[in-house]
Amino acid sequence: MASGWNAIWEWANPRKFMGWTDKALPVVAVLAAVVFTGGLFWGFFLTPDDYRQGATVKIFYLHVPSAMMAINIWVMMLITSLIWIVRRHHVSALAAKAAAPIGAVMTLIALVTGAIWGKPMWGTYWEWDPRLTSFLILLLFYIGYMALWEAIENPDTAADLTSVLCLVGSVFALLSRYAVLFWNQGLHQGASLSMDTEENVADVFWYPALMAIAGFVLLFIALVLLRTRTEIRQRRLQAIEMRERVQG
């Protein structure tokens, strides 16, 4: 077991990380482009209108995957932040930093598409519904997380403080996921995708939705690998500049 964990840490070594991602990133990027485009094309153009919601139901293929990613990206940031706190592993901290802007964009997409979808369904773009409100707060945490990284010059100190912020923000990530279970009031419906056949959407919507979600996941993986590589390069550049400044 110990040797297995050591192998994982070895692959996460900055030099090895740059090596294997250099080969993996193009493959993941192409796969993400194909699955992401295919899922959205299938959902928007090859599925019927809903008998109650009409064509507006097709925003589902953007709204649901982006909302899922918004929550799960924060969970990923939580895990990598905990690794930083426990192991002081720099790649984990940089991966969390790299993921934050992607998560913020996903949260914003979920809020905007939810508002567009909500207008014909609820008669309003916004309601202080528990799930909607927790999602808005989650977006503010994403913004605060990114701002904190930029505000602190020492990268290790920034990683420490943003990790703590990530722990606090995880409460709202969980609320965003389970708010409809905690409170009965609110306009937002329950889970659209479920293993329960009585609650789940029809198969004609289910399969393209799964493909769209897979596309969003692959897109995130490609982007976070790309951004983490960029963060590592920037960290190396800063170290070189610091060394030259000391020598000078």
Closest by Cα among 112, 120, 108, 129 to 50: 120
What was the pLDDT predicted at 121? 73
Quickly tell me which residue has 């090895």 as its tokens: 16
- Report if pTM > 0.85: yes
Q: Are 231 and 98 in contact (CB under 8 A)?
A: yes
Closest by Cα among 229, 221, 245, 225 to 15: 229
- Rounded to a whole number of angstroms, the distance between the first and last alpha carbons of the chain is 47
What was the pLDDT predicted at 197? 46
Q: Are 96 and 162 in contact (CB under 8 A)?
A: yes
Q: Are 210 and 43 in contact (CB under 8 A)?
A: no
φ, ψ for residue 54, nearest 5 deg: 65, -145
User: For residues 26 and 203, which has the higher predicted lDDT (pLDDT)?
Assistant: 26
pLDDT tens figures, 131-173: 788 888 899 999 999 999 999 989 999 999 999 999 988 877 7
Residue 97 — very low, low, confident or very high, per pLDDT cuts 50/70/90?
very high
Q: Note the residue count of the chain.
A: 248
Name the DSSP class of 200. S
The pLDDT mean for the chain works out to 84
Q: Are 86 and 159 in contact (CB under 8 A)?
A: no
pLDDT at 190 over 70: no
User: For residues 224 and 192, which has the higher predicted lDDT (pLDDT)?
Assistant: 224
Alpha-carbon span 29 to 199, nearest angstrom? 34
Helix axes 14-45, 203-247, angle to 10 degrees: 150
What was the pLDDT predicted at 125? 76
What was the pLDDT predicted at 5? 55
Q: What percent of the chain has pLDDT over 70?
A: 82
User: For residues 242 and 81, which has the higher predicted lDDT (pLDDT)?
Assistant: 81
Burial of 187 (0-12, 13-18, 19+ CB in 10 A): middle
pLDDT tens figures, 172-183: 777 666 655 555
Alpha-carbon span 15 to 170, nearest angstrom? 30
pLDDT at 218 over 50: yes
pLDDT at 32 over 90: yes
What was the pLDDT predicted at 74? 94
pLDDT at 63 over 60: yes
Q: Which two tokens stand for residue 118?
A: 């909500």
